[in-house]
Amino acid sequence: MFKILQKSFSVGSATADYPNISPRLAKQFRGCPEFEFEVWSDARPAAEACPTGAIAFHDSDGVRRVTVDYGRCIYCGECEAASVDGAVRMTRKFELAATDRRDLVLTAEYTLHPDGTHAGLQLAANGPVLEEPGKRIAEAIQNLLGRSLAIRQVDAGSCNGCEQEIVALNNPVHDIERFGIHFVASPRHADMLLVTGPVTRNMELALRKTWAATPDPKLVVAVGACGISGGIFGANYATMGGVDAVIPVDVYIPGCPPRPEALLHGILLALGKTRQRTRSHPFQ
């Protein structure tokens, strides 16, 4: 017993101070791809290499419209390998959570050349970034909900990759309970549903019932590429696609799977949206 206590004191706190301090990322960690639209001369190879259809293009009247959907991206790196002009590169960025699905889609329009390449960029849209002061998180939760935040996690058909990262939120390193956030076993006790996976048709009714059983005001967070768009599965005979095909979603957290800090970032973003949602939500 004495040795255990001695060891505990000598090691000190293992909890990471995210979001006050950027997390220490493993050397091999890979975040989202970044696109240098100004120098991108041909989106076709990347679009053809992308396994989820996150990169797409449409040619019309001498104009090429290129879209990049972070809600579909699984951070595989195939687009970087396929882009010979170096316009696409993988980064270590992971804080991409957004309250509006459209914020996850980048759009660029180019003048199309006869040989199929393009130039003459007009950038149309970009994604959001949230900066939330971590020291006021617990206080903000108390103000918004009057107590701590209770999350019910719902696996609507995931591969369990996202669950691995969600479980890590409770370990001593990430320790989500330091913010007054904890997981509960029943939607009736929950303020937030954290939903993973493409919604399988077998889980559609269960997800609808879980949403209905969660008391108002409630928040829904779609986790990972599958939760946002159906990911690599899309919508097919067995899956409905993303969570918002079944229930309304307040925040989308991209990644495959999103690392724990990305999950925390998205949960905090959802908390900042509570008042707006209760005013404007079409289902309430």
Note the residues at the interface with ligand SF4 (CB under 6 A): 33, 49-52, 54-55, 73-79
Which C-beta is closer to ligand SF4: that of 50 or that of 271? 50
Minimum CB separation from ligand SF4 for residue 94, in Å? Answer: 13
Pairing state of beta strands 192-196 and 181-183? unpaired
Listed as own residue / partner, the contacts of 215-218 with beta carbons closer than 8 Å and 24 or more positions apart are 215/188, 215/190, 216/278, 216/284, 217/191, 217/274, 217/277, 217/278, 218/190, 218/191, 218/192, 218/193
Which C-beta is closer to ligand SF4: that of 51 or that of 62? 51
Question: 3-state DSSP call for residue 211?
Answer: helix
How far apart, in whole angstroms, are the C-alpha atoms of residue 43 and residue 200? Answer: 32
Is 50 in contact with 88 (CB distance < 8 Å)?
Answer: no
Which C-beta is closer to ligand SF4: that of 15 or that of 91? 91
How far apart, in whole angstroms, are the C-alpha atoms of residue 141 and residue 174? Answer: 18
Minimum CB separation from ligand SF4 for residue 105, in Å? Answer: 12
Is 104 in contact with 254 (CB distance < 8 Å)?
Answer: yes
Minimum CB separation from ligand SF4 for residue 277, in Å? Answer: 29
Which C-beta is closer to ligand SF4: that of 91 or that of 202? 91
Minimum CB separation from ligand SF4 for residue 78, in Å? Answer: 4
Instruction: For residue 75, give every residue at least 6 positions away whose Cβ sits within 8 Å of its Cβ, in sequence order, or none.
Output: 30, 31, 32, 33, 90, 255, 256
Which C-beta is closer to ligand SF4: that of 179 or that of 252? 252
Minimum CB separation from ligand SF4 for residue 58, in Å? Answer: 17
Q: Which of 115, 15, 68 is nearest to 229 (CA)?
A: 68
Which C-beta is closer to ligand SF4: that of 81 or that of 185? 81
Minimum CB separation from ligand SF4 for residue 57, in Å? Answer: 13
